[in-house]
Copies of this chain bind each other. A is one copy, B any other.
């Protein structure tokens, strides 16, 4: 599987997509912060983090008992670059992209 298909595969699950979005929005968090999510058991959550990690989307650091996860910027960047590489195809103009770029500042 190509790197990008692997990335999409990991993100193509509601729970994992929500984990990544929350890490992006709230910053680094330990597994425990997601325990209430979908009433998922700790092992189920742990496996989702493992899938994301093996796809290169997140990485972890150990802090005492906790494993703190964070999104790897390169992962999101690669997605962006892939979509941008087809920009001529999907964009009738640069309006929406330029707006997004300016709003992100």
Q: Which residues of A contact B (CB under 8 A)?
A: 1-2, 4-14, 17, 24, 71, 73-77, 79-92, 96-97, 100-101, 104-105
Contacts and interface: CB of A to CB of B under 8 A. Distances in A.
14 contacts: A1-B14, A2-B14, A4-B17, A5-B17, A8-B12, A12-B12, A73-B90, A74-B90, A76-B86, A77-B96, A80-B83, A84-B104, A85-B104, A87-B100
B88 A100 contact: no
- Identical copies of this chain, number: 2
What's the dominant secondary structure at chain A's contact region?
helix
A70 B4 CA distance: 20
A8 B87 CA distance: 18
